[in-house]
Structure 1
Amino acid sequence: MQRNRAGAENVFQSLRVDGRILTMLIVLIVVWTVFQLLTLNQPGQFLSPQNLWNLSVQTAVVGIMVGGMVLVIVTRQIDLSVGSVLGFTGMIMALIQTVPPLGWGGHWLLALLVGLALGALIGAFQGYWVAYWGVPAFVVTLAGLLIFRNATFIVASGRTIGPLNDSFKVLGGGLNGSIGETWTWVVGGVVMLLIVYHSLSNRSRRQKNGLPVRPMWAEGVVMGFLLMLTLAFVLVMNAYTYPGTNIPRGIPVPVLITLLVLFTLNWVTLNTRFGRYVFAIGGNPEAALLAGINVRRMLVWVFALMGLLAALAGAVQAARLNFVTNSMGNLLELDVIAAAVIGGTALAGGSGTIVGAAMGALLMSSLRGGMVLLGLPTEWQNVVLGAVLLAAVIWNTVYLRNQKS
């Protein structure tokens, strides 16, 4: 018994995989399996291409923002305003497209750029008060939640704004909002090449600097798993066709945007000075300051990035709905924070991963989607999500405590 346990521990150590990410993967597999068994006799099974395609689109909005929230929480801050900023910037983008000022029509691209710039400015403004005036982020962003939620109502005079430009709606994955079969294979191929390149280059770099590396068999297992996961994703996206045809839809545009955001943020956190500074600040702000890091400026940049991502998510949400209501994004900040925490981000700061947060967002969407398929009342859905969040926080606390000991 002890020999088998020691062997399993040696295999796990050789793979050098974060235990929290591995746990998230196991939980996802269990959740998907359970929902598939429970919906086996239904027309819309949980693991059907249509449901998985829709699930990916439903995850996009939270997925776009969750990476930014990880960086905010890692620096020991919080942003409660992201749902309101999403709604406000989405409304501004809708107004520019549908209510031309001074008789001059607002192009959808102009609306998008204005919305993104506005989101970044709002984030930087909030970060300024946190970084330079020492106002707690909880208070600043709670004020932002109230201000921008009601500002959305004020600028639209309580109206629902739409319909939006057809080109803009592509961002939401509606009609013609997918990249098609060929480009889906191209994207999948590029991702596979990047996986191989990153694995080999990272191994070579670690060896050159005298750092420990995985055994070759373990490197092959991890690389092979990621390649198979990418292939499965491409096949599922191409398995869902347009109604009445055999034409594959491919990857939805909002999912492509989400993947680009998450890949970029993951690369930034692992390979750039900015990413190292963020984690240094979260680990020990005083030590980071003494090391020469401009902590205040970094905090402003982190909040500005969060505002930018909230605006991008607002564009995707508005494009998906085609109409922007005053309540768009209401309480969405709770989903984003919960996804980050479920994905292993420590609320105390200094610890978190973009990959884990993305899996947290996918787990939350999977739970919601599965419970909707089963016809579970909203009240029970929230009870289940709350229980999962509590379990994730407890597991994360225990894991970090064991790592320190």
Structure 2
Amino acid sequence: MPQHDTNALPTAQKRGFFQTLEIDLRLLGMVGAFVILCIGFDFATGGRFLTPRNIFNLTIQTVSVAIMATGMVFVIVTRHIDLSVGALLATCSAIMAMTQTQFLPQVLGLGFDHALTPWITIVIGVIAGTAIGAFHGFLVGYLTIPAFIVTLGGLLVWRNVAWYMTSGKTIGPLDTTFQKFGGINGTLGASGSWIVGALATAAALFGLLNARRNKLKHGFAVKPLWAEYVLGGIAASAILGFVATLNAYDVPTRKLQRLFDARGEVMPEGFTQSYGIPISVLVLIAIAIGMTILARRTRLGRYIFATGGNPDAAELSGINTRLLTVKIFALMGALCAISAIVASARLTNHSNDIGTLDELRVIAAAVIGGTALAGGVGTIHGAILGALIMQSLQSGMAMVGVDAPLQNIVVGAVLVLAVLIDIIYRKRTGGA
């Protein structure tokens, strides 16, 4: 009889290249589509689309929708929908704008740019967003009003609540520290960005190593070492390449001159400064990590996906689906408030039309990212990639000179096509 080495490490059976790497083919297809989209627009714009400046702007423009898209994944996974996120963002933005320009100075006597102003403002905004979201969840979960109707009503109500709070006026400028969360006025610079990039790379490599160790510890098959090296190389290249691209975008000389003049200093000859990673991107990364852990490592996450897969079975197994609905919508409301911070800080003020049509962009980002409208299936990273694809599509068309109405037509067609492709994919893979 042939002898077998019983001490050999368990390895995956021989498979194709991408199967060996264990990369989701649907995710790979999205990444491929995104790359083709970027290359196509770069060619159409004469090389302007993939410049560090445009990538920086594209990044900070994506953050607000991407943050809300992570919450929309949970909403859609549980077979609900939220049409009010754009209006709720506007209300939270109005609340925070009025807090720092009216309430805090007049009631608490905190002057403009006081050290406590941005933090009190953020706390009030997040509490308000969470409370409104929980109210929506109560109407859906306990009063059994369809989420479509509740949030459609919320779209009309909260958009106009925001208008009445500000009398339809633009409120600003906002607190200087608060503005740093918008991206353009708050970045890490070159050195800080490289430090964050190095830490992120180390964390990604440690995650791959730790996952391999856990599989070996429990006797599961593992990828061959070359596959681990390839994945580690891809992760490191993506992270460090992103940092290098953002560091390549320098702050305009005139803006630097104004900063030096404001401090009463003389700007050195030939002085340059990189923008680096925007603070808003760090906020998105933190939320993405938190939401991924919530989805994969917590009881709440398991309950969410179990309820989306089969609501009746989930309720019979003891899951309080009504309370779960309240929690999901409350979380969605909190994320709308955080998005309001990023959006209003980027604009440096609260405007009456902030968040307009964001509900459609957020839903489209989640669906394009692979969240099934039938419930039970969805990923956080997919929703963020979907938001990036949506923003890239709109920004690219704007740079090419496509009219706004035609942009919306294209985005709508892409959304329908993405759902069709998703349906075909799930049928061919047995609903995986």
Matched AA of 1:193: A
- Tell me the residue number matched to 1:370: 396
CA displacement 1:188-245 (0-9 Å, x = unmatched)? 1121111112112222223333444333222222222111100111101111111124
- Give 1:86-235 correspondences, 5 Å limit: 86-100=89-103, 102-105=106-109, 107-175=117-185, 177-235=186-244
Partner of 1:69: 72
Return the letter of the residue paired with 1:393: V
Select the residue among 291, 294, 307 that pairs with 2:317.
291
- Whether 1:321 and 2:331 are equivalent positions in the alignment is no
**In structure 2, what is the Cα distance between the partners aligned to 1:206 and 1:296?**
36
Displacement of 1:103: 4.1
Query: Which has the larger helix fraction?
Result: 1
Change beyond 3 A, Cα 1:257–1:294? same
Alignment map for 1:196-345 (pairs within 5 Å): 196-244=205-253, 245-345=271-371
Unaligned runs of 5+ in 1: 1-7
Q: Which moved more, 1:100-109 or 1:390-399?
A: 100-109
Cα shift at 1:9: 6.6
State how far apart, in whole Å, the 1-side matches of 2:245 and 2:298 are: 33
- State the partner residue of 2:266: none
Mapped contact 1:20–1:343 kept (Cα < 8 A): no
Letter in 2 for 1:195: A
For residues 48 and 297 of structure 1, the distance between their equivalents in structure 2, rounded to whole angstroms, comes to 47
Identity across matched positions, percent: 44
Give the Cα–Cα distance (whole angstroms) in 2 for the partners of residues 304 and 195 of structure 1: 31
Larger of the two Rg values belongs to structure = 2
Q: In structure 1, the residue corresponding to 2:352 is in which secondary structure?
A: coil
Please tell me whether the aligned partners of residues 20 and 356 of structure 1 are also in contact (alpha carbons under 8 angstroms). no
Cα separation, 1, equivalents of 2:204 and 2:338: 26
2: CA distance between counterparts of 1:276 and 1:93?
Answer: 34
Give the TM-score normalised by the residue count of structure 2.
0.88
Q: Deviations over 1:231-275 (max 9, x none)?
A: 111101111111124211110111121121112212221222222
Query: Could you tell me the TM-score, scaled by structure 1's length?
Result: 0.93
Aligned Cα root-mean-square deviation (Å): 1.8
The residue that corresponds to 1:19 in the other structure is 25
Separation of aligned partners in 2, 1:210 and 1:349: 32
Distance 1:201 1:272 in 2: 19
Equivalent residue letter for 1:29: V
Which AA in structure 1 matches 2:159? R
**Count of residue pairs brought into register by the alignment:** 395
For the residues of structure 2 that align with 1:105 and 1:334, how far apart are their CA atoms? 40
Cα separation, 2, equivalents of 1:62 and 1:280: 26
Measured in 1, the distance between the counterparts of 2:409 and 2:167 equals: 35
Deviates more, 1:241-250 or 1:25-34: 241-250
Unmatched 5+ stretches in structure 2: 1-13, 111-116, 254-270
